[in-house]
Amino acid sequence: MSAGARLGSDAVSRREADALCVRMARRHYENFSVASLVAPRPLRLHLARIYAYCRTTDDLGDESGDAALWRLHLWQAEVEALFQGRPPVHPVLVALTDTVARFRIPAAPFLDLIAANVQDQSVSAYATWEELRDYCMLSAAPVGRMVLRLFEVGDPRAVPLSDDVCVGLQLANFAQDVAVDRGKGRTYLIQSELDRLGLPGAVEAMCERALLLLQSGRDLERLPMPGRLRLQLSLYRKGGEAIIEAIRGEGFETDRRRPEVSTTTKLRLVAAAVSDGARGFPGAGRPAAVAGTVGSAHPTRARGDGSLAAAERYCQRMARREAGNFYWGFIALPRTQRISIYALYDFARQIDDATDGPGATEAGVWLDVTAGRRDRERSRVDGGEGDGRMPAAGQPGPEAGGHDLGRPAAARAQLEAQRRRLRRALAGDPGDDPVMQVLARAVWRHRIPASELEELVSGVEMDLVRNRYATWEDLRGYCQLVAGVVGRMCVRIFGFDGDDALERADSLGAALQLINILRDVREDASLGRVYLPQDDLVRFGVSEGAVLAGEPDGAWTSLVEFEAARARRLYATGIEVCRHIPGPARACVRTMAGIYSGILDRIEADPELPLRQRVRLSSGEKAGVMVRAWVGATAAGLAR
């Protein structure tokens, strides 16, 4: 039913009315799915009802043409009747009756929203800030007051602070929508500022005013309130600030084009809000000393003014290009941890490439960073996503199958060069190598044992001499070197508070590596690799030749189910590491692990799928995993 539907039709049932409100919220409010995840489940329907009311009111004013005033007055009469105890007819009001009664929301905010839309029918410009502020108090502030009622925030300081935030958000929208409003015959830019400053100057002045008002959000978020409301308020405030930053990027010329906040920025906003919500976690639970840790002295600073910042940007670009699934988790982290993780990932990627990438036998193909060369693009068979195998730092190359015995010697030379490169950096001389500059700093800052980085190189080296594993115990040892040790280093970067956190990281690393092995069975087979334990192949009657040919025989489905169950057990043990790390890190780990769990779901549903194609999740599915992980991590932190 549209907003302009006849208001005198027979009343619908509460269930039908609620279904309409939820549909309106999901269809017209792009952030409702995130807001509904942030809000406690019992409040989600109430939020949808309030949104549907606001949307209906605005649509009656904006989409009714010459009938707008008549419809708004009719709508006002319906709302007043609701508060006088008469049963409403319009489905949105049928649904809203329960919310109004349950949370004792007064009539004023609902009627103020109607009054603002009535004003829009006759006022198309505002001469002064005082006039515009009065309008915003009718059109924006009431929404915040309703939300405070839903969350039962009784602190008297909350209302004026909420008003500031809502007005600030509306001003940001006014500055963003200059072209849109002009198409409706309106402008919300202040006329006196337009005359004095011109359009870009008036837009900039409105943005500055909005930023000042949004700062009240920080004080609001410090008041006693449910943790999920605090997260939601933080999202609103950060969203407004991001809009203003986008406007600034357009030179405040929003009469030409409507600035948009990118999807990546929105995801970063959620991550930042999660970080704020989880703050206060008893964080850096690192051991006071770690045997073998490099970092008794601060690492040598990067050479040249600004070179460290350039090195950090280099690491970020490389991780974004290559990390695939893992990059979705990285962006949840605070900046210091995120940069450290980028460098760790990049180093793992580079040593993997030393044995497995194109040009692996060409010494210095990517080591010559002083020449300013970009990392050469990896060959991809999956549309350029990057393979995203951070734990799998050491997948074997074709030489591991014994087909080209000349390449291992060259690859070993590359790995020795990598060891020397690493040791020089950890000794305080990273030179002009951007990855080493950032990694050495991360090792010092997070007290990462040098032995763990050396183990990672040794794991890659194993790929040069082994391409088969007789038992799971053999394969588990390999997984520990190329995956578990990376998990340990990540946990050290995150900070942890439990003695078994590192062991949990080992288990999670093994789980993700085993999922990698199941996912990549076709790709590995094409290069002569068979990672699945030989005794498991025998147990289920699956021949190695069939795996290499991509033609399952024996009880292939049973074999996949067996390995998947093993991965699930390891995953269940390993994911408990989230109990020992801070909220943003929990979000990071749950994002990365959740994506791999989704891949395993696909494999379990169709065990022959990895033989036909590389199993993956869509970007939309990954984003859904990420949002659920961030919200869940915040909720867990607030419950502590």
Same fold, 11-122 and 307-638: yes
Across 269-273, 387-391, 456-460, 524-528, least confident range: 387-391
Instruction: Tell me the β-bridge partners of 293.
Output: 449
Contact 317, 380 (CB under 8 A): no
Contact 225, 152 (CB under 8 A): no
Q: Quick one: pLDDT at residue 636?
A: 55
Q: pLDDT higher for 38 or 411?
A: 411
Domain 124-261 matching CATH 3.30.310.50: the answer reads: no
Tokens of 616: 């993956």
Domain 11-122 matching CATH 1.10.600.10: the answer reads: yes
Q: Quick one: pLDDT at residue 321?
A: 77
Q: Quick one: pLDDT at residue 527?
A: 72
Helix (H, G, I), strand (E, B) or coil at 226: coil
Is pLDDT of 62 > 70? yes
Sequence ranges of the domains in the chain: 11-122, 124-261, 307-638
Q: What is the overall mean pLDDT for the chain? A: 81
Cβ-based neighbours of 440, under 8 Å, separated by 6 or more? 294, 299, 300, 425, 426, 428, 430
Cβ-based neighbours of 577, under 8 Å, separated by 6 or more? 487, 491, 496, 501, 504, 505, 508, 589
One-letter amino acid at 389 equals R
Q: Quick one: pLDDT at residue 363?
A: 29
pLDDT digits (tens, 9 = 90+) for 193-238: 999 899 999 999 999 999 989 989 888 988 988 887 888 888 888 8
Cα–Cα distance measured from residue 387 to residue 460, given in angstroms and rounded to the nearest whole number: 16
pLDDT digits (tens, 9 = 90+) for 4-58: 443 434 457 888 899 888 888 876 554 444 455 567 788 889 999 999 999 999 9
Is pLDDT of 75 > 90? yes
Q: Quick one: pLDDT at residue 29?
A: 53
Q: Which range has highest mean pLDDT (264-268, 323-327, 496-500)?
A: 496-500
Q: pLDDT higher for 371 or 629?
A: 629
Is pLDDT of 621 > 80? yes
Task: Give the pLDDT band (50/70/90) at residue 160.
Answer: very high
Contact 469, 537 (CB under 8 A): no
Cα–Cα distance measured from residue 17 to residue 152, given in angstroms and rounded to the nearest whole number: 24
Tokens of 140: 């924006």
pLDDT digits (tens, 9 = 90+) for 564-597: 999 999 999 999 999 999 888 888 899 889 999 9
Task: Give the pLDDT band (50/70/90) at residue 159.
Answer: very high
Locus of tokens 């930023």: 211
For the CA atoms of the chain, what is the radius of gyration?
A: 29
Mean pLDDT of 526-548: 89
Is pLDDT of 409 > 90? no
Across 226-230, 386-390, 429-433, least confident range: 386-390
CATH assignment, 307-638: 1.10.600.10
